[in-house]
Amino acid sequence: MHTLREAGPGDIPNSPQTILGKEPAPPVAFESKFDPEAFTRALRIAGAALVVAAASTFMLQNWQAGNDLMRYAMLVGQSLLLAAAAYFVGRTVREGRSARTFLALVLATIPVSFAVLGGLVYSRFHFGELPALPHYASWVAPSGGAALVAVFGTLIVLAPLALVSFTALARKEAKALTLAFCGANLLVLVPVRQPEIVATLAGAALLVLLRLELTRFAVSTQLDTLEGKLARVMPFAPPAIMLGRVFHLYHVGPAFIGGVLLIAGASLWQALSAASVAVNGFRRDAGAWLASLLGVIGWGLCWSELVGQLPSVGV
């Protein structure tokens, strides 16, 4: 049985709590589901995406004000502005995360700058006949000397920015990442647009970068953070731009598509070899069969175009 108690001055007469001798339960506090940290992170991601999209328009947008060299200088100036914003936020506001976001944006804009610079170099040092390009994708240097000066100035400005950015995102492997990143960007400047040659250069770069990623960067615990993963992805952007540029602006044949399939098959085979212990038997076998299938189809497409270009022998 419950023991009745006398009603106190704060009790409501004849209330269940008074009759049963229980204290009233405190009101349940309203729990807000709003996460300020997640909201600020979403804002940073959205702002970063907008900045990268704005910078990427330089590759396919021929602005009307000024010549192409001046417009390219504006693009490089955007990277400098982002680096200055990172320095201001990090030193004055003491907001390290926002400063690293700005430096990641610097890295994202550098391949775009080299893609535009590759157009300027190609306009003066191309091999063979210069193909007709859409007006929005045409970048022409005033002279060969101006193109070389642009290359020299770009290396002086963007190479140190890349080193600083990689140091902030992945300090332990900053030098190796900077060398891989700059080397991959220099391939974008090669004044060759034949799809087969581009596929060979981009494929070799991707395979070398993937090997470096699997054997060095992926096993480093310091690069397992979000900033470290972002830094590890950056060197793969220039070869991807090279392949995408050919797809968008030039005529691709079976040999180029076959080359891309060969790159995919070789990359998958490397990934399976590096993860043979972590991947179970079924996934490893399925991946091996897929890599073999990509290789067979790729070689078949390359051979079909090669046979078509050989002179026919009459009887």
- pLDDT tens by residue, the chain, 315 residues: 455 555 555 555 555 544 445 555 555 544 555 555 554 555 555 555 656 556 555 555 555 555 888 889 888 988 898 898 888 888 887 777 888 888 999 999 999 999 999 999 998 998 777 777 777 778 889 999 999 999 999 999 999 999 999 999 998 899 999 999 999 999 999 999 899 999 999 999 999 999 999 998 988 888 888 888 999 999 999 999 999 999 888 888 999 999 999 999 999 999 888 776 556 677 788 888 999 999 999 999 999 888 877 665 444
List the domain boundaries for the chain: 45-191
Q: What global pTM score does this model have?
A: 0.77
Residue that has been written with the tokens 């069969």 in this structure: 289
